[in-house]
Amino acid sequence: MPADWKAFKKDWKNGKYLECTPILERPKYTRRAIPIKFLDRLVEFSNLLEKHNATAFLMGGTLLGWARECSLIPHTTDTDVGIFKDDHSE
């Protein structure tokens, strides 16, 4: 049972997992690495969203990378995410 049932219910209702099926064929030996600094920032962002009971979603190039390559686009330097207007407070 989730510790925070309300948050779990909201995430379950708003969430949708999209299975990755790469559009572009890439060599099986290609190795991807996500920088530790990026993962640290992602955890901070996730904690901030949780604190404010907000839901984020991928958009723009980040969503394109996931749909096309099942990963971040290798040469990108940013991450595109959005939050729902109703989750934003002044």
Mean pLDDT, residues 50-64 taken together? 86
pLDDT the model gives residue 34: 72
- Which bin fits 60, alpha (ψ -120 to 50), beta or left (φ > 0)? left
pLDDT at 32 over 60: yes
Angle, alpha carbons 15-82-70 (nearest 5°): 65
Burial (CB count <10 Å: 0-12, 13-18, 19+), residue 78: exposed
pLDDT at 18 over 80: no
The residues spanned by each domain of the chain are: 31-90
Mean pLDDT, residues 8-16 taken together? 75
